Amino acid sequence: MQCGAAVRLWDPSRVPKHKVCGEFLTPEIRPVLERLQLWDAFLDQQPARMERMRLVFGHRSANGRFAEPAYGLSRYRLDALLRGEAEARGAQIIAERVPGIVDITAHGRQFAAAGKDRLFGFKAHFQGPVSDAVELYFFNGFYIGVNPVEGGLTNVCGIGPEEGLRRHGFDYDALVHSNVPLRERLNPLQREMNWLSTGPLLYQTRLPAPPMDTFLAGDALQFVDPFTGTGMAIAIWSGSLAGKAAAEGLPTAEYYTQIRSGVEKQYGWCGRLRSALSMRFTQNLAPYIPPSWLYALTRPQIESR
């Protein structure tokens, strides 16, 4: 639209709706939204602001500070904002897919049908005292994030192996209460919605080769580890680059080169850290690794593009 092209938007599901997501946005979100002139509208949603991070491994924890603030905004609010702005700027929401006109494919993550390492994600909002930190609790192959979002709510969102969930009868309350530090953290909070879950999902070990006949954007292109808190920023960034490329008639190969230079390094580091953390030796070392170091390694290079 900003490049003068007509935009038609097709999504078969209801938007907005509550989605399984950590709803945590690292500071990269600011330049991405500023370039789209969406920053003020984002702030109007009164996202929670976070200055600190805390990683909890058993009874040990490590703390770090963000150089710039991170934000918490529910997917309900963020998706409504993006859809509303697209419409206000002239995008036409269509009820039926029109074959042959799709330039950009952003259908989200493709579920892996099978596999022994399947993971599931889950989330719920809680009411109660609000913190200014994002906290991640690691235990038994799970990590569970606790962070504020708008309106004094706290989002609790985790990801973990199917086998571990089965041990708790897929009862997410039982799961979060099985870890003592997390149970103590959630003690003063009350869950205010039913748990939502998603999956199965699998981490990819390398960036998949994209099809050259369409501009893939967001999770349709690659599923970045939610640990990085950058999936939404990358989805908005890649979606806007894809829109510009399609409007200007850029070859898809050139678009994918831009994407790779933004996320390839991050992707590589996430894979290496994941395999390291699956080894017992590194699990024992993990509490001693400064969170700011892990954070710095897993940044995408999307700010100046």
Ligand X SMILES: Cc1cc2nc3c(=O)[nH]c(=O)nc-3n(C[C@H](O)[C@H](O)[C@H](O)COP(=O)(O)OP(=O)(O)OC[C@H]3O[C@@H](n4cnc5c(N)ncnc54)[C@H](O)[C@@H]3O)c2cc1C
State yes or no: residue 23 binds ligand X (CB under 6 A): yes
Going residue by residue from 165 to 204, which x/- string records binding to ligand X, judged by CB under 6 A? ---------------------------------x------
We find the least distance from the C-beta atom of residue 262 to ligand X, in angstroms, to be 14
Contact (CB, 8 A) for 9 and 96:
no
Among 106, 153, 245, 263, binds ligand X (CB under 6 A): 106
State yes or no: residue 219 binds ligand X (CB under 6 A): yes
Q: Which is nearer to ligand X, 65 or 107 (CB)?
A: 107
Cα 223 to the chain's mean position, in Å? 9
Q: Which is nearer to ligand X, 233 or 277 (CB)?
A: 233
State yes or no: residue 24 binds ligand X (CB under 6 A): yes
State yes or no: residue 47 binds ligand X (CB under 6 A): no
**The pair of three-digit structure tokens given for residue 208, joined into one six-digit string:** 């998949």
Among 159, 182, 216, 245, binds ligand X (CB under 6 A): 159
Phi, psi of 28 (to 5 degrees): -60, -20
Q: Which is nearer to ligand X, 106 or 270 (CB)?
A: 106
State yes or no: residue 259 binds ligand X (CB under 6 A): no
Q: Which is nearer to ligand X, 178 or 198 (CB)?
A: 198
Q: Which is nearer to ligand X, 205 or 284 (CB)?
A: 205
State yes or no: residue 107 binds ligand X (CB under 6 A): yes
State yes or no: residue 20 binds ligand X (CB under 6 A): yes
Q: Which is nearer to ligand X, 8 or 65 (CB)?
A: 8
State yes or no: residue 62 binds ligand X (CB under 6 A): no
Q: Would you tell me which residues interact with ligand X (CB under 6 A)?
A: 10-13, 15, 20-25, 106-109, 121, 157, 159, 198, 218-220, 226, 229-233, 235
